[in-house]
Chain A
Amino acid sequence: MNDNIADLVDSRTGRQSRSIYASEDIYRQELERIFGRCWLFLVHTSQIPKPGDYFRTFMGEDDVIVIRQKDGSIKAFLNSCTHRGNRICRADRGNARAFTCNYHGWSFSPDGALAGVPLESEAYFGELDRTKFGLIPVTKVAEYKGLVFGCWDANSPSLDDYLGDAKFFLDVWLDAMPGGSALLGETQKMVLGTNWKLPVENVCGDGYHLGWAHAGAMAAVQSMDLTGLSVGNSGVDLDGGLSVAGMNGHMVLSALDGVSGYAFYPDPKPILEYLEANRQTVIDRLGEVRGRQVWGAQVNITIFPNLQLLPGLNWFRVYHPKGPTQIEQWTWAMAENDMPEAVKAQILENQCLTFGLAGLFDNDDGDNLTACTEQSRGWRTAQMDVYTNMALGRSGKREGFPGDIASGLVSEHNQRYFYRRWQEHMMAETWAEVPTYNINSLTDEEAEHA
């Protein structure tokens, strides 16, 4: 299989074999080597604030339940009964003192312990060792400033090392203001007939599609100039933004104007006032570059493999694979806790308007991703390649930023790094074989004074 994987992607030329979007064999290997190995986003701490609060999600195709404990810590378990395997929790979220299986009535406490077994003495003759039948815990659970991740691989790097230099950009949301961050609203769930890599590729680096695929929405709602992009792809300015990659497979697109994240708000005024009122605080906390140029700008952050967040547009999204050609896309609105309630409400409202289930922008992407997937399933198309070869070799260091950086939001630089990371994981038998790289890393001091 590894020889085969070596042929499927060539990040020097930007080539991908279309079979990676449709092959069942490749997908099974992804479940093992990517979703079974990487740190995967589980929940934001704001979504399960109180003891007993739980949230159901997926790690790859494995159904998982994440539970806030009595002591405030967070644990995660397979959502599967240890008796005969039934799903124990069928709700999306809530608060519970115990989880009782519908099949034979075993019940589990929030810490995963098997707390009750019907007819334990009569039918099991008291011989069942309950300690051996607790819920199966996710191997590692860790938090980075409100974002809770889980990982099945005991030999993975720490979450901190896994995120690496992407933290420089994550902090622009998570740590810009002293109150931290939160996700808002119920989960916006949609089924898409796409391979999971295509939406990740789209958001991680594809500024190219914005002016064309979203021309209708841009014409209808754009309230200000979004740096470097124009409706109908009629022009592009590469000076106002960056495509940042080379950070352990994580990628960032960032405008540098400090406001354009809100370019798709019909009424951006209250939010622009919040930004300007707090600009100095953020500069003091994160330095000039991030405080003045990045905070408030259009920023797309991708955490490998399946998490994407766009501070500014304020949507936060996970893609759960459901076979090689299907996903469930889950979206929430993101806010800073220091925002006035009215601003948070406006963010939730606007996120739903632009990138919700009837989102003016979001509704343009689904069919393109689906069709790219379908056009990889034919006898002939499956033998073909596709390319992300825009602006090959035009990247380097930029003062004040970590990463290998290409100029502008329109480039295919980030996508090449995404597929490179995909290939690195797919070829590695164990974590020890997966390379770690944070290209052009900044020292703490450089980051602060940037």
Chain B
Amino acid sequence: MLDRPLAPPPVEVIVAVTQALHREARLLDNEDLDGWLAMLGKDVSYRLELKSRRFRADRSPPFPLGPGVIFNEDLGRLKMRVDRLKSGFVWAEDPPNYIRRAVSNVEVLATRADNEVRVHSVLGMHRNRIDGTTRLLTAGRTDLWRSEGSAWLLAAREIVLDHSVLPDSNLNAFF
């Protein structure tokens, strides 16, 4: 089968998916974690791999078991993380930290499947923590969003974190 370039998705799809990204960020900022879980597909994959800083010409092979992860979650694992955050025992989140996410550089691309789009975006996460300090985390995201009924659901997300040393004492937050 010949690969033909795909036509861009219809404008309504681009608008709907972009709006879904913004809505997702707002739900997370407001700690509406159940609302966020409801935006995820049942088969969702949510991943953030570890990496190391290497010379461009480095010849060493990848690790046989891979680099390890910061997140490698399916829906059950994300629910477990949400359960922990809602347990009332996560002292690092009480009083709440001030978190604000800004989504940017959104590109919505067609895929072979009619009901799925590939989405690139950049997330900036401002965290003003209870310890009084503020961190800005940035990450790139490559998503797969799927339309199911009237809603767009997140089916897969690959996150790339732009920090070689995490500048914060926890990641009790989703990208």
Could you tell me which A residues sit within 8 Å of B by CB distance? 50, 53, 90-96, 184-193, 213, 215-217, 219-221, 231-232, 266, 328, 333, 341, 344-345, 348-349, 351-353, 356-358, 360, 362-364, 366-371, 374
**Contacting pair B65 A374 (CB below 8 A):** no
C-alpha gap A363/B164 in the complex (Å): 18
Instruction: Pick the contact of A187: B52, B129, B130 (CB < 8 A).
Output: B52
**Chain B residue nearest in CB terms to A358:** B171
Chain B residues in 8 Å Cβ range of A366 = 92, 168-170
Number of interface residues of B (CB under 8 A): 45
**Contacting pair B92 A185 (CB below 8 A):** no
C-alpha gap A132/B58 in the complex (Å): 29
Quick one: given A95-B60, A191-B166, are A344 and B65 in contact (CB under 8 Å)? yes
Quick one: given A216-B85, A266-B80, are A193 and B63 in contact (CB under 8 Å)? no
B contact face: mostly helix, strand, loop, or mixed: loop
Distance in angstroms from A313 CB to nearest chain B CB is 15
Distance in angstroms from B82 CB to nearest chain A CB is 9
**Contacting pair B68 A188 (CB below 8 A):** yes
Chain B residues in 8 Å Cβ range of A93 = 52, 54, 60
Q: In the complex, which residues 17-71 of chain B have their Cβ closer than 8 Å to any Cβ of chain A?
A: 48, 50-55, 58-60, 63-71
**Contacting pair A352 B69 (CB below 8 A):** yes
Asked if B172 is at the interface of the complex by the 8 Å CB criterion, the answer is yes
Quick one: given A213-B91, A220-B80, A357-B171, are A185 and B67 in contact (CB under 8 Å)? yes
Distance in angstroms from A10 CB to nearest chain B CB is 30
Asked if B10 is at the interface of the complex by the 8 Å CB criterion, the answer is no
**Contacting pair A188 B54 (CB below 8 A):** no
Could you tell me which B residues sit within 8 Å of A by CB distance? 48, 50-55, 58-60, 63-72, 77, 80-81, 83-85, 87-92, 129-131, 133, 164-172
Distance in angstroms from B3 CB to nearest chain A CB is 33
**Contacting pair A186 B87 (CB below 8 A):** no
**Contacting pair B63 A185 (CB below 8 A):** yes
Chain B residues in 8 Å Cβ range of A96 = 55, 58
30 A–B contacts, CB within 8 A, in A order: A91-B58, A92-B52, A93-B52, A95-B58, A95-B59, A95-B60, A96-B55, A184-B68, A186-B52, A186-B68, A189-B165, A190-B169, A193-B131, A213-B91, A216-B87, A216-B89, A221-B80, A221-B84, A231-B89, A266-B77, A353-B72, A356-B68, A357-B70, A358-B48, A358-B71, A358-B171, A363-B171, A364-B91, A367-B131, A369-B169
**Contacting pair B90 A364 (CB below 8 A):** yes
